[in-house]
Amino acid sequence: MSSSYRISRAFLNAKKLDLSKDSRYILFSDCHRGDNSFADDFSHNRKIYHYALSEYLNKDFTYIELGDGDELWENKFSAIFDANKDVFLLLKEFHELGRLHFIWGNHDMDYRNPKKIAENLHYYYNTSDDKEKELMIGPSFSEGIRLTQSDGKSIFLLHGHQADWFNYNFWKLSRFLVKVLWKPLQVLGVKDPTSPAQNHKGLIRVERRLERWVKENNNQMIITGHTHRPRFPSEDEPPHFNDGSCVHPRCITGLEIENNEITLVKWHVVTSAVGVMQIKRDVLEGPSSLSYYI
């Protein structure tokens, strides 16, 4: 099965959400929420992520997570939840408002199984009163999403590992290698060779396959994650965007869609002249009209 076939299949089966001038979407991916151990890259940015997501909640954005939200290759979900309870309770608020959609990636491929979704996300055990409480009943998970205009034109959202044959076809082997071998070594600074984010040649191959699919499908606009490398193409390049990740060393990056425009943003910590630390949003690229790309 070729990468083109896998991407096309996800496109044809993608869930459709409305896209109009009134739409407000924030796209993050590759959070890799972990257990707050030394191998947990998300822990460094958790407060930044929580603050940014709170701002988007208050501004009526819909949150779409483009895969690899939970680091299920390295951790049991119970440990992930305990380390990130405040984050999950914030996601619960989006869910209750009908403004939360998940796409599964290779590191949370278990969420293809509705039983695993129910097991992890429907309820949680509250240690303060020793009671089970509702978290998110029936959260929306899919392989792909199409943000679709009234004229039928759309933006295709995908994690992107469909263009990475090893991490798609042999994800269970990758999971074994990461959990048994690379997680202990990660503490010592050894990079995971199965990840395109840590392998520049692999990253380029994945991006080329995705862009080849875009060209072969009438320049269909696509937004992915997976490689962790933010991408905001010029108007004369294939319309392939990447929202980056939430595990950059000192920031998180994402894509905003608002007023029929798209913007690449960075949230990070800055220090004022008097030593006050605060979380700040900076625009890296855009805003650019979606009409240039769709």
pLDDT of residue 113: 96
Per-residue tens of pLDDT for the chain, all 294 residues: 688 999 999 999 999 999 999 999 999 999 999 999 888 999 999 999 999 999 999 999 999 999 999 999 889 999 999 999 999 999 999 999 999 999 999 999 999 999 999 999 999 988 878 889 999 999 999 999 999 999 999 999 999 999 985 556 545 556 656 665 555 655 555 555 545 555 667 788 999 999 999 999 999 999 999 999 999 999 889 999 999 999 999 999 999 999 999 999 999 999 988 999 999 999 999 999 999 999
Residue 75, Cβ density class (10 Å: 0-12 exposed, 13-18 middle, ≥19 buried): buried
**Tokens in use for 95?**
């869910």
Separation of alpha carbons 208 and 4, rounded Å: 11
DSSP state, 39? T
List CB contacts of 223: < 8 A, sequence separation 6 or more. Answer: 27, 66, 155, 156, 157, 158, 240, 241, 242, 243, 255
The H or E element containing residue 53 is: helix 46-58
Residues 207 and 227 sit within 8 Å (Cβ to Cβ)? yes
What pLDDT is stored for residue 178 in this prediction? 63
The pLDDT, as a whole number, for residue 2 is 87
Q: So what's the pLDDT on residue 137?
A: 97
Q: How far is 288 from 293, CA to CA, in rounded Å? A: 9
Q: What is the pLDDT of residue 165?
A: 58
Can the peptide bond before residue 193 be classed as cis, meaning omega within 30 degrees of 0? no
Question: Nearest CA to 186 among 28, 30, 29, 35?
Answer: 35
Q: What pLDDT, on the 0 to 100 scale, is given for residue 110? A: 94
- Determine if the pTM surpasses 0.85: yes
Query: What pLDDT is recorded for position 127?
Result: 81
